[in-house]
Structure 1
Amino acid sequence: MKLTYYGYQPFDVQPGEITVLATAAPKIYHDLVIGLRDDMDTVRLASDDFELLKHSQASHWYGDPVLEIDLNKIFQRKLQDLFLKSLSEKQVVQLTDDWQRIITQILGDSYLLDVPLNVPETPALAKLVKLSGLQLEESVNREPYGILETLIKTLVELNDQKMVVLTNISHYLQVPRLKMLRKVVATTYLPVLDIEFSENRQKDYFKECRYHFIDHDFILW
């Protein structure tokens, strides 16, 4: 995929890699953020064959790992749907039978009230899964690396191949953690873009990533 910002050659964002677009220029950072977050024309996305792509079709904005990403808010419903699709016919029958036994038990205990009670219908399995609150463990939301690793792994499970757009991951990850994240990304087909606001070049920190830096004077390094 190619990302174009006016005045510069297109930036390649390749699957299985972390591409970093860092800048010390507030205007450029602003343009990149609103372009990718709010689907504005300050940034253009295109295929490797230079076919223009709509942002919503080609990328997902996730932003700041700590301030913006709530994994369960983003993925809970999708993971519940995936869980249901992953069940074998035998497992569906077993879960349905188990739920029917619970209903039978409830009705069996309804004598505790001196009024006639009944369960009008057995809820669909999808509704039962939703009522269960099935979700990612809260522990993965407690520290930045866990958030990012789980984000990538969840997108792989969901077979979502859109570009992952993050911001300022250098604020949260030390070099060993960044290396671990890069290795996770390298095992996937996901293109990952990190937009950084930084006064100085961080080429050494991002040495294992595809790194670009635009300074205060709008010069690309």
Structure 2
Amino acid sequence: MNLTVYPQAPFAVDSGKLTFLQTNNPKFYSTIVLGCKNLDKIIISENDEILELSSHLAYLGNGIDNVDLITAFKTKLEIEVIENLTESERQRLFQLDREVKSIFLGAAYLEELPLAIDDEWNLKKMAKYCGINILTSSMDNPYDIIKVIIKLYHKFYPKKLMVLNGLFNYLNSSQINDLIQMIKALDLYVLILDFSADFRKELADKCRYYRVDSDFVRFNY
């Protein structure tokens, strides 16, 4: 997969190998960040075919400031849970639904009012009632949040290019190494943007590393 920001040549992003794009050029950095965020003025392509940005790119920022990145998967998680139910589990939930509605209906008759209870059995409503969600309070540090977000995208959008930036304000070298290994194990497309002039030799040895300097000169490592 290639990401193009004119007038630069395409930046190759391989699955399973972290791609690191560093620059200390404010104009270039803002162009690529806003392009990924707004899905505008950049191009994603593969095998010379231009891909639709909304279907193939997900801008995640630093993955920490925006809790909606996790809560946005709530509905998908509910559907996943429902699809994994066995037939016996579905029958038991149907019986429980009848019992719960019978209790409420009995209480309604005590008031001698012409009330009715919806007799429809809806697994989606039952799952939503249970409040299935990711327990973010159990995440002790920013890296835990980033791992969960990446795993969610791997599960539901495995072929999307994930673009993150500003991670080095939150991760230590050990966590960065773990992130590189996780991307390899899950075979993901991940691009990290970094606004800095500091060459990171340890990343050049392990990642696809690009650098664009203040004069728009590009270096490939």
Return the TM-score normalized by structure 2. Answer: 0.88
Provide Cα deviations, 1:13-50, integer angstroms capped at 9, x if missing partner.
Answer: 11112111111000010110111111112x21110x12
Moved more, 188-197 or 137-146: 137-146
Partner of 2:26: 26
Partner of 2:57: 59
Return the TM-score normalized by structure 1. Answer: 0.88
Provide Cα deviations, 1:85-140, integer angstroms capped at 9, x if missing partner.
Answer: 22223222222222222222333444654545442323411122122221111235
The 8 Å contact of residues 2 and 50 in structure 1, kept in 2 or not, is answered as: no
Moved more, 180-189 or 69-78: 69-78
Partner of 1:126: 124
Partner of 2:84: 86
Moved more, 200-209 or 156-165: 200-209
Consecutive unaligned residues of structure 1, counting only runs of 5 or more, are none
Letter in 1 for 2:151: K
Partner of 1:38: 38
Letter in 2 for 1:81: I
SS state of the match for residue 202, structure 2? coil
Letter in 1 for 2:104: I
Distance 2:157 2:203 in 1: 30
The 8 Å contact of residues 13 and 19 in structure 1, kept in 2 or not, is answered as: yes
Q: How do 1:186-197 and structure 2 match up within 5 A?
A: 186-197=184-195
Partner of 2:10: 10
Q: How do 1:170-189 and structure 2 match up within 5 A?
A: 170-189=168-187
Distance 1:8 1:117 in 2: 68
The 8 Å contact of residues 58 and 162 in structure 1, kept in 2 or not, is answered as: yes
SS state of the match for residue 194, structure 1? strand
In structure 2, the CA distance between the partners of 1:151 and 1:206, relative to structure 1 (3 Å rule), is: farther
Partner of 2:74: 76
Consecutive unaligned residues of structure 2, counting only runs of 5 or more, are none
Partner of 1:216: 214
In structure 2, the CA distance between the partners of 1:69 and 1:117, relative to structure 1 (3 Å rule), is: closer
SS state of the match for residue 120, structure 2? coil
Alignment of 1:106 with 2:108, yes or no, is no
Partner of 1:148: 146
The 8 Å contact of residues 16 and 190 in structure 1, kept in 2 or not, is answered as: yes
Distance 1:193 1:67 in 2: 18
Q: Report the Cα offset of residue 206 of structure 1.
A: 5.8
CA RMSD of aligned residues (A): 2.1
The 8 Å contact of residues 20 and 193 in structure 1, kept in 2 or not, is answered as: yes
Q: Report the Cα offset of residue 7 of structure 1.
A: 3.3
